[in-house]
C-alpha cells in the first residue's frame, strides 16, 4: 500500500491522518466516498514534480483517520469543513488551490462559498452537487433500512461492496488486479463495516449541497476546472454540464475511458490537466 497520509494531528479533538509533499504553491486534495487520500496516490507525485506543495488528508471517519465510536459525532460533508479549516491553520495556509473528488466536492463547494477569498483555484472531479446523490441503488438500500448492511456477515459484506466498488471504474480488470482490495479493506472488518454505514452512508443527504444551490455562482470568482468521466455511472455527465452552466467561467473536460473513480482509470491524463490548469492560474 502506498499511503500518502503519513502523519496525524488532533483537529477539534479528533485524530486526522494527513500528509504534505513537495514544495511550491499549496494544493489541497480532498477525497470522497467510499475512499480515502489513497485515491490521490497516482496524482500527487505528478503535481509535486510540476512544482506544487501537495497537502492530503483522510476525512474524519475515513481511511487512516479516526473512526469515532460516538454515534453522535457528525461526519457529514458539512461537518468536514471545520476539519479542513483546522488543517489549513495547522499547515499555515491562508489560500489554496483546492482539488476535490466525489463528496469531497460537497466539502469544497461549502468551503469555497463560505470563504471564497481562501481559494486560488478550484478543481472538481466527478463530484456530488445539488441532489445528484445518493444513487438509485443506494437510496433503495437506505429507504429499506441499513440494518441488513450493518448485520451482514463479513463475507456477504465484502462480496456486496466489491461489486459496488467495481462499478466506480471503467477498467474493472485493472482495478481488480490493483487497488480494489485496499479500498475494500478500509470499509470491511469489525471497524470498517460499521464505520462505512455510520460515517459515510448515513450522511448521504443532498441537503448538504441543496443548501448551496442558489449560490454556486460565487465559485466563479476564481478559476474553476471540472473533470468528469464519460462513463461515470454514479455522477452522470448531466451533472457536470449543470455545474458548468451554474459556475461562471468554469471549464469542463469530459474524459473517455473513465468511470466515477476517474483518478483510478486515468491518473496520468488527470494529473496533466490539473497541473496545466494550476500553472495557468498561478
pLDDT attached to residue 138: 83
Interval 225-246: pLDDT, tens: 999 999 999 999 999 999 999 9
Q: Which residues pair with 251 in a beta bridge?
A: 225
**Which ranges of 42-153 would DSSP assign to H, the alpha helix?**
44-49, 77-91, 104-114, 136-143, 147-151
Residue 158 lies inside a defined structural domain of this protein: no
Output the nine-digit C-alpha cell for 76. 457529514
Residue 169 lies inside a defined structural domain of this protein: no
pLDDT attached to residue 1: 61
pLDDT attached to residue 258: 97
pLDDT attached to residue 96: 98
Residue 74 lies inside a defined structural domain of this protein: yes
Strand stretches in 22-63, DSSP E: 25-30, 52-57
**Count of domains for the chain:** 1
For 246, other C-beta atoms within 10 Å of its C-beta total 18
Residue 19 lies inside a defined structural domain of this protein: yes
pLDDT attached to residue 149: 82
CB 6, CB 19: distance < 8 Å: yes
For 154, other C-beta atoms within 10 Å of its C-beta total 12
pTM (global) more than 0.95:
yes
Which residues in the chain show pLDDT less than 70? Answer: 1
CATH classification of the domain holding 233: 3.40.50.1820
Residue 255 lies inside a defined structural domain of this protein: yes
pLDDT attached to residue 140: 80
For cell 494529473, what's the residue?
Answer: 271
CB 168, CB 259: distance < 8 Å: yes
56: left (phi over 0), alpha (psi -120 to 50) or beta: beta
The residue segments making up the domain with residue 17 are 7-134+206-280
Residue 82 lies inside a defined structural domain of this protein: yes
Interval 112-125: pLDDT, tens: 999 999 999 999 99
Residue 36 lies inside a defined structural domain of this protein: yes
For residues 18 and 30, give the distance between their C-alpha atoms in angstroms, rounded to a whole number.
Answer: 11
pLDDT attached to residue 147: 80
Give every CB contact of residue 154 below 8 A, 6+ residues apart in sequence: 188, 189, 193
Residue 271 lies inside a defined structural domain of this protein: yes
Amino acid at each position: 500500500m502506498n499511503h500518502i497520509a503519513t502523519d496525524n494531528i488532533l483537529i477539534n479533538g479528533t485524530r486526522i491522518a494527513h500528509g504534505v509533499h513537495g514544495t511550491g504553491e499549496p494544493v489541497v486534495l480532498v477525497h470522497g466516498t467510499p475512499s480515502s487520500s489513497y485515491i490521490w496516490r497516482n496524482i500527487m507525485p505528478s503535481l509535486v514534480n510540476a512544482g506544487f506543495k501537495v497537502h492530503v488528508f483522510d476525512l474524519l471517519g475515513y481511511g487512516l483517520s479516526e473512526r469515532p465510536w460516538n454515534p453522535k459525532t457528525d461526519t457529514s460533508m458539512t461537518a468536514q469543513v471545520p476539519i479542513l479549516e483546522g488543517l489549513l491553520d495547522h499547515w499555515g495556509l491562508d489560500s489554496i488551490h483546492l482539488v476535490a473528488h466525489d463528496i469531497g466536492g460537497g466539502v469544497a463547494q461549502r468551503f469555497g462559498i463560505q470563504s471564497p477569498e481562501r481559494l486560488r483555484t478550484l478543481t472538481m472531479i466527478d463530484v456530488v452537487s445539488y441532489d445528484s446523490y445518493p444513487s438509485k441503488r443506494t437510496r433503495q438500500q437506505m429507504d429499506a433500512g441499513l440494518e441488513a448492511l450493518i448485520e451482514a456477515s463479513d463475507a456477504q459484506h465484502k462480496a456486496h461492496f466489491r461489486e459496488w466498488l467495481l462499478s466506480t471504474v471503467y477498467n474493472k480488470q485493472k482495478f481488480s488486479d490493483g487497488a480494489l482490495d485496499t479500498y475494500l479493506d478500509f470499509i470491511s472488518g469489525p471497524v470498517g463495516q460499521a464505520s462505512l454505514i455510520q460515517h459515510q452512508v448515513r450522511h448521504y443527504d443532498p441537503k448538504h449541497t441543496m443548501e448551496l444551490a442558489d449560490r454556486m455562482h460565487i465559485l466563479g470568482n476564481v478559476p474553476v476546472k471540472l473533470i468528469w468521466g464519460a462513463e461515470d455511472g454514479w455522477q452522470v455527465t448531466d451533472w457536470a454540464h449543470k455545474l458548468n452552466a451554474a459556475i461562471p467561467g468554469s471549464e469542463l473536460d469530459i474524459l473517455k475511458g473513465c468511470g466515477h473513480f476517474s483518478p483510478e482509470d486515468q491518473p496520468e491524463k488527470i494529473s496533466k490537466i490539473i497541473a496545466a490548469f494550476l500553472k495557468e492560474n498561478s
